[in-house]
Amino acid sequence: MSSAKADRPVRIANCSGFFGDRLAAAAQLLNSGEPIDVLTGDWLAELTMSILAKNRGRGRAGYARTFIAQMNQVLGTCLQRGIKVVSNAGGIDPQGCADQVRAVAGRLGMPISVAVVDGDDLTDRIDELRSAGELLRHLDTRDPWRGDTGDVVAANAYLGGHAITAGLAAGADVVITGRVADAAVVTGAAAWWHGWSPDDVDALAGATVAGHAIECGTQVTGGNLAFFTEVADLTEPGFPIAEIAHNGSSVITKAANTGGTVSVDSVSAQLLYEIAGPRYPVPDVVARFDSVRLHQLGRDRVQISTVRGEPAPSHAKALLTFPGGYRNAMTLAITGTGRRAKAELGERAVWAQIPGGRERFAESLVEVVGASLDSEAPDDQSYLRISVADPDADAVGREFSSAVVATALGSYPGLYLTTPPGAASEFMVGWPTLIDVARLDPRAQLDGKTLTVAKPVTVAPLIADTPRTPCATDIADTELVEITIGDYLGARSGDKGGNANLGLWVREKRLLPLLDHLTDPVRLPQMFKEFGRHQIRVFPLPNLLAVNIVVVGLLGNGVAASLREDPQAKSLGERFRAARTSVPAALLPDLTHMEN
């Protein structure tokens, strides 16, 4: 990269936030007239790796075919304009994905250099790693993995961006990766553009925060925003662009004349998505989210600054994927009066039809979704959802679903089923763990040549952040006011393995005492009953006027295996905002003077 270019920020656009995102996004970005240096996209998630692993087992593509569809639309334009493409769409077959990109260029009659980043695939190395002393302990439970190596359909380490940097520095037009950290496609490109070394921790941390901001596409441009009614047009929000400067600071924006918004709220919401404590570890650096400051520069332009970094961690995250058994779910509608009694009868009747009852299954979950069981409004609808999982496919298949159907004429009045009886479906379990980075070998290959990948000189053990300690005080003698939480807080929720993440923020500093009161670890399970059986970790992020809450184990064994109706906790934030609770009146400022 020439020094003339490196003197200005690199403009990195994101055209995908997940496997299944808007297919026209890349073309819309390139046709917007906005200057773009690098086009990136994020196709991978824990659920996606399970899907791709299943595909590979069935002889199908182990990469994101939708990425190839986008390249058919825009690759020629990218090559003509000198726009680099960096994507993790390679999944568990980055070489196969790269071959398809080369085929697209061949049909266009255009020369192309495609770099492939791999070294993340550990599927055939598990026994070797165990022999070397890796216990493959679960990230949350700390239990060592004791499974059969032959059952593992995919095992991948999360690599960083340095191999991407190597590919771009060697002249690649396109870089295809396997499993890398979500932000790595951005940090690798920014490090190439600005010539950062692997030990430029503050710059890399800043790029990591920018990468985290845009990795989920339109979630940073107003998508899923708590205050969505304030956004003029969310019909089709524009995809984001990060302008990353030499010092790692950035501006998040989007193409002009596209829907959505880029605001402190929209960026705050995305920064809080799927994180844990203030330290955000990726293979390249540990970014300190408690150092981040946001500033609205103008319409659809938010600056991210003052980000501080710590040395790269000595261990990298890895995910083992293996079959977990079979599952099934049936849903019974409940309406009218006496709903709580109806739900109790419906559940008893179902278990009575199954030899051995509920204990017959390795795992079961009963949820009430929809309207509260205390509602008696005729137009409100509640649903009793019963889910089961077991290694025995027959037990959770028609034996279970037919047993539910058998109660239909002998249970509570008004019962009807929203799901037909069906067979069980197999599910995969994701086992998150840590691997010593010394045992990993990130590789970059370009046109048959293996490239040198730089590594940080200094790595350090990851420092675990300490959650906030409970400090709830008695408010019995305090003047209390009942509020709807969402009138005061924004929220964004999601999943990280089996844990649910709930990010909450306020829009001005004088509401921080209210946020502090509502998020006391003792008070949270009193307000939100489903938290009661789980460890709750609360991490304040005062620079962002925010906290992040981790509810350990709320999602069971993770999205691919969870029995919950909402296995990714997407609705958790809005359900929390809809809750009503009593708070000290002194914590409530005059809302007529609140600033947006």
**Domains held by the chain: number:** 3
pLDDT tens-digit profile of 559-585?
Answer: 788 999 999 999 999 999 999 999 999
Query: Rounded to an integer, what distance in angstroms lies between the CA atom of residue 417 and that of residue 399?
Result: 16
Query: Does 420 map to a domain?
Result: yes
The tokens 């419906």 sit on which residue? 346
For residue 253, is pLDDT > 50? yes
The reply to whether 339 and 261 lie within a common domain is no
Global pTM reads 0.94
Q: At 345, which CATH number?
A: 3.30.70
- pLDDT (0 to 100) of residue 419: 87
pLDDT at 557: 85
143 within a domain of the structure (yes/no): no
Average pLDDT, integer, range 292-296: 98
Q: What is the mean pLDDT of the chain?
A: 93
- Same domain for 387 and 299, yes or no, is no
Residue 461 lies in a domain: no
Number of Cβ atoms within 10 Å of the Cβ of 359? 9
Asked if 488 and 361 sit in the same domain, the reply is no
Let me know whether 369 and 265 are in one domain. no
Distance CA 252, CA 244 (A): 9
Average pLDDT, stretch 252-268? 96
Band of the pLDDT at 17, cuts 50, 70, 90? very high
**β-bridge pairing 443-446 and 114-118:** antiparallel
Residues 83 and 184 in one domain: yes
Q: State the Cα torsion 573-577-580-586 to the nearest 10°.
A: 120
The helix (run of H) or strand (run of E) holding residue 285 is strand 285-288
Do 281 and 329 lie in one domain? The reply is: no
User: Does residue 254 form part of some domain?
Assistant: yes
Give the amino acid at 368.
V
Q: Is the pLDDT of residue 594 over 70?
A: no
Mean pLDDT of 50-64: 82
Whether residue 169 is found in the same domain as residue 270: yes
User: Three-state DSSP class for 53?
Assistant: helix
pLDDT tens string 477-515: 789 999 999 999 999 999 988 999 999 999 999 999 999
Examine the domain organization and report whether 339 and 296 are in the same domain: no
Same domain, 522 and 398: no
> Is position 186 within any domain?
yes
Q: Which domain holds residue 523?
A: 480-591
Displacement of CA 35 from its chain's centroid (Å)? 28
Residue 36 lies in a domain: yes
Q: Which of 369, 402, 429 is the last residue of a domain?
A: 429
The DSSP call for residue 517 is H
- Helical ranges in 195-293 per DSSP H: 201-214, 264-271
Q: What's the pLDDT at 461?
A: 95
* CA 505 vs CA 408, 493, 508: distances in Å: 45, 12, 9
Cβ atoms within 10 A of the Cβ of 198, count?
Answer: 22
Model confidence pLDDT, tens digit, residues 303-340? 999 999 999 999 999 999 999 999 999 999 999 999 99
- Whether residues 288 and 166 fall in one domain: yes
**Helix (H) and strand (E) counts in the chain:** 16, 27
pLDDT at 3 over 60: no
Of 50-59, 465-474, 537-546, give the lowest mean pLDDT range.
50-59
pLDDT tens-digit series, residues 159-168? 999 999 999 9
The answer on 399 and 517 residing in a single domain is no
Instruction: Provide the pLDDT confidence category of residue 476 given band limits of 50, 70 and 90.
Output: low
The verdict on residue 155 lying in a domain is no
Confidence of residue 593 (pLDDT cuts 50, 70, 90): very low
- Domain end position, chosen among 396, 429, 462: 429
The whole-number pLDDT of residue 8 equals 95
Report pLDDT digits (tens) over 196-222. Answer: 999 999 999 999 999 999 999 999 999
